[in-house]
Amino acid sequence: MNITRIHALHAEIQKVFEHIKSQEFKLIQLLQQLDREFGYKALGYASLWEYAVRGLGMTESQASSYIVVSRKAMQVPALGRAIEAGELSVSKAKRITSAIHFGNAEVWIEKARSLTQRELEREIFRADPQTHLDPKLRQKDRLYRMVLSVTDQFLTQLEDAQELMGENNREVALERILEDYLDKKDPVRKAERARRKSETQAPVDERRKGDLKVSLSLFSGDSTQPEPSHSSRNVQRRVPAAIQHLIHLRDRGVCQHFFPDGRKCQSRRGIHLHHEHEFGAGGGHEPSNLRTYCRAHHQLIHFQRDMRLEA
């Protein structure tokens, strides 16, 4: 081992680390500016978190830390000054964001600066114990232990459901409740159920045969169906259930938004059906004109459209 080379390496690491610390506050300032101007939306991202993870390549943990700290520093300038001075790292600042506010900033900054991680976490827990309970503990058999804060009403409802099921095990009862909910509300499950029903059920009358032909022709992109009159379009604004099922089967109920790096969102949170050619401007319900988006990216599409109109 060449000790001279090791010391030189150590000095170089120190230099790089000091540079990283000095750049943390600069990054926070830039994120604050982008956040205030909603600049991430203009770049094709629905949220600052999505921009940090997808656009910058941060880990989810890094994105959470930088965003939480940058927003808290806007509320509590002393926190930003402590980071700028190198007194706190973003990681340590993140730990006290739930407890710090304008009136107690100096106290919490001093605690973060002087206490060990375990001591600091104990102080934060004492300040607000309910907020900082660990919600999950992974088990070796890949089960999860969850700590829930529930009301008397929740417990009563769960016990009533268990009684109706004839089930003594609460975990099994909750699984069955969730399965029932998904079976009723998951759009893809509903679409698959409707498809199975249509495949096994004999046609009842010619009208239903005609409806099926219309649905199939729309799914294939056939736009030869007669356009509805203007007076009837308001009535027909809601996408028919048969067409909704076709779209959910095609898109599998996940968001079809593509990030700037080419990856697909695939979120299932609050999915919407979006008319590529706006319904109000004459666009129809044919599947070729409909795409699935999560709530955030559906809002992003309209935000970008409004930006283009204003330009």
Does the CA dihedral 206-208-212-214 come out positive or negative? positive
238 φ/ψ sector (left φ>0, alpha ψ -120 to 50, else beta) = beta
Does the CA dihedral 178-179-185-186 come out positive or negative? positive
pLDDT for residue 306: 87
Contacts of residue 228, defined as CB under 8 A and 6 or more positions apart, other chains included, come to 236
Average pLDDT rounded to a whole number, residues 166-183: 90
The string of pLDDT tens digits covering residues 251-299 is: 999 999 999 889 999 999 889 999 999 888 888 899 999 999 999 999 9
pLDDT for residue 168: 84
Q: Which long-range contacts (CB under 8 A, 24 or more apart) does 300-304 make?
A: 300/41, 300/44, 300/45, 300/46, 300/257, 301/257, 301/274, 303/38, 303/41, 304/41, 304/42, 304/44
Query: Which one has a higher pLDDT value, 1 or 98?
Result: 98
Beta-carbon neighbour count of residue 271 at 10 Å? 22
> DSSP string covering 212-262, please?
HHHHHHHHTT---SPPPPHHHHTTT-SPPHHHHHHHHHHHTTS---B-TTS
Torsion, Cα of 253, 259, 262, 266 (10° steps): -20
Looking at residue 202, its amino acid is A
Q: Is pLDDT above 90 for 30?
A: yes
The string of pLDDT tens digits covering residues 112-171 is: 999 988 888 888 888 875 554 444 433 444 456 677 888 999 999 999 999 899 888 888
Task: Provide the 3-class DSSP secondary structure of residue 279.
Answer: helix
Residue in 248, 220, 233 with CA at minimum distance from that of residue 281 = 233
pLDDT for residue 219: 46
pLDDT for residue 144: 61
pLDDT for residue 311: 64
Cα(84)–Cα(149) distance, rounded to whole angstroms? Answer: 38
Q: Which residue has the tokens 């729309």?
A: 218
- The pair phi, psi for residue 237, each rounded to 5°, is -60, -35
pLDDT for residue 222: 45
The string of pLDDT tens digits covering residues 190-238 is: 999 999 988 887 555 555 555 545 454 444 444 444 445 544 555 577 8
Task: Name the strand (E) or helix (H) holding 46.
Answer: none
Query: Which one has a higher pLDDT value, 19 or 90?
Result: 90
Q: Where do the structural domains in the chain lie, given as residue ranges? A: 3-129, 150-185, 187-310
pTM assigned to the model: 0.66
Q: Is pLDDT above 80 for 309?
A: no
Q: Is pLDDT above 80 for 305?
A: yes
**Size (the chain), residues:** 311
pLDDT for residue 145: 65
Q: Is pLDDT above 50 for 4?
A: yes
- The pair phi, psi for residue 144, each rounded to 5°, is -125, 140
Average pLDDT rounded to a whole number, residues 43-58: 94
DSSP classification of residue 37: T
